Structures are given as C-alpha cells and as structure tokens.
Amino acid sequence: MDDVPPSVRDRLRALPAVDRLATAVRAAEGAGVGARQATLVARAALDDRRAEVLAGATDDTDLVARARARLRPSLRRVLNATGVVVHTNLGRAPLAVAAREAVAAVAHGYSNLELDLRDGRRGSRHAHVERLLRELTGAEAAIAVNNGAAAVLLAAAALAAGRDLVVSRGQLVEIGGGFRIPEVVGHAGARLVEVGTTNRTRLADYAAAVRDGGDRVGAVLRAHQSNFRTVGFVEEVGVEELCSLGIPVIDDAGSGVLDDDLELLDGEPPVRRSVRAGAAVVCFSGDKLLGGPQAGLLVGTAEAIAACRRHPLARALRIDKLSLAALEATLHLHRDPALAAREIPVLAMLDTSPQVLHARADRLAAATGGVVVDAVARVGGGALPLLELPGPAVALDGGPAGPDALAAALRRGDPPLLGRIREGRLLLDPRTLTGAEVDLAAAAVRAARG
C-alpha cells in the first residue's frame, strides 16, 4: 500500500467493515437472508468497490444496494415491448398457462420421468411426448432432445455418419450463435456433398449426387433457411421430390408449424407435409411457432427414429423433465387448433386483432404521456423473416438525455422493460405485452422517469 496515494488510502479506510455491511443488508432484506449469505454478498460488494477505488473511482456508491442486488436472481422476468414476438434474447416463446402449471407440478417433487407406472419398470422419457407427436404429425415414431440444432445434429449423425450427406448450396446457412450447416455435418461425422447453386438447385442436381455417390450416400438434408430468404431468380426442390430419390431425407422444418390451416404461417414448412411426403426424419423446434419450451423434436419413420435413439449423442442431447412437462402440455393444446391459437401466447400475439392492439396502445399512451404511432412488429426467432405485422406503438420522448438513457433506465427497472428506438424516440409495442403487462409497463416508465 506504500505506493497508493493518500487520498486513495483514505477512501479505502472509509469503506465499512464486512460485518457492518452484512448487518445492514440483513436489516434491509428481512428474515429471509441468513447471516452467512449476507456476509458473502457484503464481502463481494466490498471487494468490487476496493478494486474500483484503486482504479481511481471517486464517486459515491450505495454499498447496501450493491450487496442486496447480488441477492437478486440473474435470470429474471422482463416486459417485452420490442414488437419481436419470438425474441431469442428474451427467451423466445413465453409459455401457455397450462405449460407453466405443468412445470410447477413436476418441479414440486419427484416424477415418473423414466418410470413406467403400469408395471413399475424403467421407462423412457420420450414416452411422455411421443404419442402426442405421432398423433399431431402422423409420424411412426418420435423423440425429443434439448433444442432444434441438437435435433439436426443427431439426425445427421444417426443416418449419415461416415457417409455422404447431400445438401443444396442455397441451404448452407448460418443462424444465430454461429450454428452453421457445414460444421454440423462435419461434427456429425458425415461428408458434405454440395449440389446446385446459391439461388437455384434442381432435382437433377440431387439425383446426380445420389447416382455418383452410390452406397456412400447416407441421406439428403433439406435445411431450413431460418432468418433469411432468397428471392427473385430462385429454384428449390420440394420435400416430395426429394423423397422420390429413394434416399433417406432429413428435413429441417425449423419453426414447428403443426397447423396446416393457419394462413399467417403459410411461409413456414408444415411438419405434417414432410411426414406425408415420406421424410425419414423431420426436425423442428419446440419453441418458436410451436410456442413451447426450448426443445428439438424429431419425428419420422420407425427405423430412422430408432437409429437416432440408439446413437450415443441421444443421451448427451436429451431433454430435461421441466422442458418435457411444458412440451407435453403445449402439445395437448395443439390438438385443438382454435384452442392453441387462443392459449399459446406466440400464436395469440401473431393474430391479435387491431382493435385490441389499439386499445392497449391508447391505454399505455394515456398512462405515460406517449403518442400512438404506426409501427411494424416482427415474428423473430428465425421464423417468417419477411412477414411484417403492422400495428400501433407508443412513442416516448427520451427527454434531455435522449431515448438511449430512457431505455437504459427501463432495463434497470423491476421488472425490466424493453422497447426499441426509432427516429429518436423509444417505441413500446403492445403486441408483445399482455393486457396486464400494459399497466406494469406504464408503471415502469413512470419509475424510470422519476
């Protein structure tokens, strides 16, 4: 400490002792915080502050508030007013009430995750959703893993490891998080065979690769383009034509559209179509447009799904009990498309009436002093990237500090509120807020301004 300036030493000496700060934290938090827990957060807060002072910090800080903040969970509920329905950074699909209740019930104690209650023998966790998936898609068999990327990886490894996997050049995509189709194929142990061009691939291109490869060809992969589309001078091969080649087809259907009749979702491939076409494995997400928890679903022929079950990756990629509970409840809702459209939040948000949206916007504007403006919401999550969802939003003036400062203050709130900035104003989109959340959003804006 000899080389520390006297002013810095004085600021370090002014810091409270650990036990004194811990006592203040317990007094502020109440009986729910134990002495050891309070001591740990107090010590961590003081360590951080000492490092700041040594680095030259001279500002005042509330150490009790800092220590108490460490008691708060890092993963928290937020209010989504961005207008992006399936927001990857905000956890993608919010769960239906039935799914939330199912999670709570299973989390309450033990469960029959891998126990057959009929005969008392060990069971399979896949059994809890396989019957529903078969019923909803028409497939012979099904399993669930922990996410959509894992589903594609497992299918490729099970059907094409050590062999050729044929993919159109127009589908060698990268989606969020650096998930690249060529790298997935490589990690699955398959050899990538590219066919066609970036914008046009014909059935003859696939047929030539299958003919030239002979017994080396394990499967054909049709990859979902996720968050982009090629338009204009383009050509691609439908799943029915691919299945006519006589080679197992792995169809990455992406977003999990189970309802063939919902006009709004026409731009995404329906799972049932791929199953009817004869794809060996159809992979799709449990969140996104299916509206459930993060999960990767594989449905298809009994032989292909059995190969996926046997593969060593199946255990490494398996789904947990809480996600299974939410997924099962969500799939039950999909048995009745009209019920699913009402009860599954993602589907309800996509189809919210203009009257409801304007009523929410008017209420939010009146409570915050904002102005209702025309805006465009998005589906998000790599689904329907070209679809625009017109509707109202509430524009807030950021004041002298500007919209970025207001947005930052809202993120620090409890609960945090997120909007989007456009043309120098902060927009709050009511499409991604429930009716009850409109009032919470208004309270968050008042608190941030206060």
Helix or strand holding residue 394 (H, E): strand 389-396
Contact predicate 323/285, CB 8 Å? no
Residues 171, 209 within the same domain: yes
* Distance from the first to the final alpha carbon of the chain: 42
Residues 288, 429 within the same domain: no
Question: Per DSSP, what are the bridge partners of residue 377?
Answer: 389
Contact predicate 265/347, CB 8 Å? no
Tokens of 259: 């309802």
Residues 56, 100 within the same domain: no
In a domain, 376, yes or no: yes
In a domain, 1, yes or no: no
Residues 332, 377 within the same domain: no
Mode of pairing for the β-strands spanning 79-80 and 417-418: parallel
Contact predicate 337/118, CB 8 Å? no
Question: Beta-carbon neighbour count of residue 315 at 10 Å?
Answer: 9
Ramachandran class of 241: left when φ > 0, alpha when ψ lies in -120 to 50, beta otherwise:
alpha
Please state, in angstroms and rounded to a whole number, the distance separating the CA atoms of residues 20 and 27: 11
In a domain, 390, yes or no: yes
Q: Residue 176: its pLDDT value, please?
A: 64
**Residue-range definition of the domain harbouring residue 423:** 79-88+347-449
Question: Per DSSP, what are the bridge partners of residue 330?
Answer: none
Number of H helices, E strands in the chain: 19, 15
Please state, in angstroms and rounded to a whole number, the distance separating the CA atoms of residues 150 and 131: 21
In a domain, 74, yes or no: no
Name 450's Cβ contacts closer than 8 Å, sequence gap at least 6: none
Q: Residue 227: its pLDDT value, please?
A: 66
Name 373's Cβ contacts closer than 8 Å, sequence gap at least 6: 392, 393, 394, 395, 427
Residues 374, 438 within the same domain: yes
Q: What is the DSSP string of 128-197?
A: HHHHHHHHHH--SEEEEESSHHHHHHHHHHHHHTTSEEEEEGGG--EEGGGEEHHHHHHHTTPEEEEES-
pTM above threshold 0.75: yes
Residues 128, 245 within the same domain: yes
Strand order across the 420-422 sheet:
371-377, 389-396, 425-428, 420-422
Number of folded domains that form the chain: 3
Single-letter residue type at 110: Y
Residues 330, 383 within the same domain: no
Please state, in angstroms and rounded to a whole number, the distance separating the CA atoms of residues 194 and 182: 10
Q: Convert 59-111 into a string of H (helix), E (strand) and C (coil).
A: CCCCHHHHHHHCCCCCCCCCEECCCECCEHHHCECCCCHHHHHHHHHHHCCCC
In a domain, 147, yes or no: yes
What phi, psi does 5 have (nearest 5°)? -60, 150
Please state, in angstroms and rounded to a whole number, the distance separating the CA atoms of residues 198 and 146: 31
Question: Beta-carbon neighbour count of residue 223 at 10 Å?
Answer: 21
Cα→Cα distances 225→114, 198, 267, Å: 35, 12, 12
Contact predicate 133/142, CB 8 Å? yes
Residues 84, 114 within the same domain: no
Instruction: Give me the torsion for CA of 229, 233, 238, 241, rounded to 10°.
Output: -150
In a domain, 47, yes or no: yes
> 407: domain CATH number?
3.90.1150.180
Last residue of a domain, one of 286, 318, 340: 340
In a domain, 44, yes or no: yes
30 secondary structure, DSSP code = -
Single-letter residue type at 79: L
Q: How many CA atoms lie within 13 A of 330 on its CB side?
A: 31
Contact predicate 313/296, CB 8 Å? no
Please state, in angstroms and rounded to a whole number, the distance separating the CA atoms of residues 432 and 348: 10
Please state, in angstroms and rounded to a whole number, the distance separating the CA atoms of residues 415 and 190: 46
Residues 134, 231 within the same domain: yes
Please state, in angstroms and rounded to a whole number, the distance separating the CA atoms of residues 174 and 245: 27
> 124: domain CATH number?
3.40.640.10
pLDDT along the chain (450 residues), means of 10: 80 93 92 90 95 91 92 93 94 96 97 95 94 97 95 96 94 74 89 92 94 94 78 86 96 84 77 96 94 96 97 96 98 94 94 96 96 94 82 91 93 94 94 95 93
Name 319's Cβ contacts closer than 8 Å, sequence gap at least 6: 125, 144, 145, 146, 295, 296, 327
Contact predicate 87/433, CB 8 Å? no
Residues 247, 394 within the same domain: no
Radius of gyration of the chain (CA): 26
Residues 354, 325 within the same domain: no
Q: Residue 178: its pLDDT value, please?
A: 67
Residues 106, 216 within the same domain: yes
Question: Per DSSP, what are the bridge partners of residue 429?
Answer: none
